Amino acid sequence: MALRAVLFDLFDTLVDLHMDRLPEVEVRGRRVRSTYGALHEALRAEADVEFERFATTLVALDLELRDVMHVERVEVPTRRRFGLLLERLGLERPGLAERLTEVHMGLLAEQVDYLPHHAEVLEALRGRGLRLGVCSNFTHTPTARVVLERAKLLPLLDAVVVSEEVGFRKPRPEIFRAALEALGTQPGETLHVGDNLDADVAGAAALGIPAAWITRRVADPVKALRSHPGAPPPHRVHDLGELLPIVG
């Protein structure tokens, strides 16, 4: 079956997200990099909640949500996460969950690096008649679209499918099916490109979608492959530019 479309993961595939650049704060005796400091400042503007109580409550909540998101692969939107946080703090403040979401996502977006030649790669793929889309795990679709716009990639895409809107995270089949439907293509005529062996490679393969594993941000690809229980990816690239011979 001839290739008709290419799907891309977003973070660490089309753009690079550096969580290690977030501000450092102390949470429960540990120094961590997170948005907790900025979130607490936004919270304190409306409610007198000490940092320790705020951080302890959010850590406990995130531990509970981890299984939902990373075992069940059900998405928990950022707005929902902060809504639950405010409930547990006993706070009823209209609009505050949205404000916390804005602060959190704004800080994350500042940690994104853009690779200018990626727009050229996508333009070349479009020039070959291929439809292009994004299939991404992310908890806030508007921020995903802002990042794509800043990367000058959004106008080159035929579809943007984000787990927040679908309700399920890769490798669940529901999000891949939603992306295929948005592109109007079948699994065998679509290539998926991503950096995660479980979510991207195995998730795509389960539906018969061939995958290209991009290793630019993978610390130790050899070790990652050794620990991967599934089949190795049919294609492996370090840079998106290496896709052109593959699709050719």
The single-letter code of the amino acid at 30 is R
Beta-carbon contacts of residue 80 (< 8 Å; ≥ 6 apart)? none
Beta-carbon contacts of residue 58 (< 8 Å; ≥ 6 apart)? 36, 39, 85
Question: Which residue from 167, 111, 178 is spatially nearest to 143, judged by alpha carbons?
Answer: 111
- What is the H or E stretch that residue 162 is in? strand 159-162
pTM: 0.95
Residue boundaries of the structural domains of the chain = 5-16+113-247, 19-109
The span from the CA of 43 to the CA of 137, in Å, is 27
The pLDDT assigned to 203 comes to: 98
- What is the H or E stretch that residue 8 is in? strand 5-8
The span from the CA of 240 to the CA of 220, in Å, is 18
The span from the CA of 158 to the CA of 117, in Å, is 19
Structure tokens at 19: 């969580």
Triad 141, 146, 151: Cα angle to 5°: 125
C-beta separation of 156 from 119 below 8 A = yes
DSSP H helices, the chain, are 36-44, 51-70, 78-88, 96-109, 117-127, 141-150, 163-166, 173-183, 203-205, 221-227, 243-247
The pLDDT assigned to 186 comes to: 98
The pLDDT assigned to 63 comes to: 95
- pLDDT in 10s for each residue of the chain, 248 residues: 799 999 999 999 999 999 999 999 988 788 989 999 999 999 999 999 999 999 999 999 999 999 999 999 999 999 999 999 999 999 998 999 999 999 999 999 999 999 999 999 999 999 999 999 999 999 999 999 999 999 999 999 999 999 999 999 999 999 999 999 999 999 999 999 999 999 999 999 999 999 999 999 999 999 999 999 999 999 999 999 999 999 97
C-beta separation of 39 from 96 below 8 A = no
Residue 216: phi and psi, rounded to 5, are: -55, -35
Beta-carbon contacts of residue 19 (< 8 Å; ≥ 6 apart)? 33, 111
Triad 214, 215, 218: Cα angle to 5°: 135
Arch. (CATH architecture) of 5-16+113-247: 3-Layer(aba) Sandwich (3.40)
